[in-house]
Structure 1
């Protein structure tokens, strides 16, 4: 009996991506998920071409562009996503449970799971957290690159001008407890090291890192150390590999950081062009794409190296996919859109991953942790 080909393995798996920022396209560009992908990285057509069955869609609120209106912006993005589901009921399905994802897959509908990216969106209000849950949110990244009033971020932890808490505050621990009670997935991508360890000490359910890679291979502060990966695995969680070159290729990261002052100046000029109104992400991302193009594409093997290292450290049961599509200017070489996802299945199998391994990594691990979190809810 012949072994299945990588293409056959990929097509037979439940392929789930744990992080994409696509909802901002619905709101800011008046774009539809059923349209051509355009300048984005994820659409219905590219998902189907790449065998992608579902996505955790992030409601990301840029803290600099929406001061004082964090929840308002999050609700706007939520409405944009729910409108897509209403307008395209044969193509998209809101999924509140793992079983919903299986139902969507069986009906050839794309599974949409909703996440908040950045706990500042709940504006220090557990009532807002509960309301988001009632409206379909099933995951929350505790911070974005900004620390909030109850949790520290890796993005500004070295900035002396930013007040920090040394991890979670007492209210932050209340947020974790309420997320446990509601069955909301706790996502520690973006958090500081101290916050990560506080979360593990506080939660009574498994956690995920929806789009974080290995800090041993690429020294981005938001990547996970081997110690973190082992602890996450011990707690039965999952770490999802990010596809952004600055998190998977150290040379590319250093070149990107060397452009920082010039990029900041260019973004300041762009903000003036919008005369005090929020700069839409597609405009700022176009600028970043131009800067990324100067560096060139990161090697495809850098992405595969991160998967293999994290599998080696945490185990095959504790690694998944977190592309960060539509939130990054450029994926590595060979990955342009979701249509290219079978390429990394082939590459991982060439490195020794079995069909069973790939079924876990492609979606099985996320389904397990999602079930465990909802089972632990009260």
Structure 2
């Protein structure tokens, strides 16, 4: 079985929501559930050895628009969130991550050595990520606290604006150049992440924000869960020029399993063949090279192809990659080694 390290998932969101309804997140993750995409039993079954697990603050007012007759749609950006409420939720999700570690349900990893040891031990290797920095205060004081709790990756924005920058809407077809980039506070956040060794994720930021990070950060450029805009022109996908910059920086793009970001019509249809995933992998490998493409499933945050279904079906993608000609060292790079390389660079290892 080819072990996979995944660049993005929202399992903490699902566990947090169910905890609010009375469930025990440790039991749910450890014992398994038919709900969602990731738990320990399904991860083991599908060779999902670990991944970046997002602290994400939900936007209750966001409702995805149905497509127009021509297939196009534009969902207005969610409203900005209030800091104190966001901090409360962020701390609750960090606490779930720590509880899972204390219970032995997963290993909260702070280094690539931690990840490799967890893989060797057969324990899910979780890296704490923050998707949208609404829980971070303007003077960045609590960034150090989250870092001490295990935060090793963040995206300055989700698909909404905040004090650090501007996000892209969920829209098809649409350019990636949808608005301003980083704010003055956003530039300070990037510099602080460089000092602390926190990876910066560009998956939801505007194109201008992408270039703002590129000129400021000393890290490889990372888009943890994005695909090729040339194939699927949603605002969230990456242009060829952005991919060229990622290659030049030594970074990577993680293949997003979301069907809306794979299909050429942008529709939310689970009956989307794995061949659409391979189409994006092939394109990105041809554009950037094998060293700059990885996996960023967005499990528990999107509709994935029915042939994958959940973490237990991850080896179906591995099999399709093998059929497409990826094998040996190249397959290992796509599955996990590219992630481990760029994480090590971002973490000053």
TM-score normalised according to structure 1 size: 0.80
Q: Please list, as runs of the form range in 1=range in 2, the aligned pairs for 1:348-367 lying within 5 A after superposition.
A: 348-367=321-340
Cα distance in 2 between the residues matched to 1:146 and 1:312: 32
| Structure label with greater radius of gyration | 1
Question: How well do the aligned residues superpose, as a CA RMSD in angstroms?
Answer: 1.9
2:300 aligns with one of 317, 326, 346: 326
Q: Are 1:375 and 2:348 counterparts?
A: yes
Which of 112, 130, 137 is matched with 1:123 structurally?
A: 137
Instruction: Give yes or no for contact 1:157–1:192 (8 Å, CA) kept in 2.
Output: no
CA distance in 2, matches of 1:204, 1:98: 19
Aligned to 1:232: 246
User: 1:234-285 deviations in whole A, cap 9, x for unaligned?
Assistant: 001110011011111022x2x45xxxxxxxxxxxxxxxxxxxxxxxxxxxxx
**SS at the partner of 1:18?**
strand
Q: Distance in 1 between matches of 2:3 and 2:32?
A: 23
Equivalent of 2:273 in 274, 278, 299 = 299
Out of 17, 20, 44, the position equivalent to 2:9 is 20
Aligned residues: 317
Asked if the contact 2:6/2:52 (under 8 Å) is kept, the reply is yes
Paired position in structure 2 for 1:339: 312
Mark the runs of 5 or more structure 1 residues left unpaired by the alignment.
1-10, 159-163, 257-294
1:279-320 residue CA offsets vs partner (Å, 9 max, x unmatched): xxxxxxxxxxxxxxxx45222211111111111111110011
Partner of 1:185: 199
The 5 A counterparts of 1:9-158 are: 11=1, 13-29=2-18, 30=23, 31=25, 32-64=28-60, 67-68=82-83, 69-87=85-103, 89=104, 91-155=105-169
4+ residue runs over 4 A deviation: none
Task: Tell me, yes or no, if structure 1 residue 250 matches structure 2 residue 264.
Answer: yes
What is the alpha-carbon distance in structure 2 between the residues aligned to residue 95 and residue 311 of structure 1?
28
Deviation at 1:25, TM superposition (A): 2.5
Task: Pick 1 or 2: higher relative contact order, CA cutoff 8 A, min separation 6.
Answer: 1
Q: Matched residues in 1 for 2:51 and 2:165: separation?
A: 26
Q: Gapped runs of 5+ residues in structure 2? A: 62-80, 173-177
Correspondences of 1:278-317 after superposition (within 5 Å): 295-317=269-291
Separation of aligned partners in 2, 1:365 and 1:79: 29
How far does residue 119 in structure 1 lie from its aligned partner after superposition? Answer: 1.8
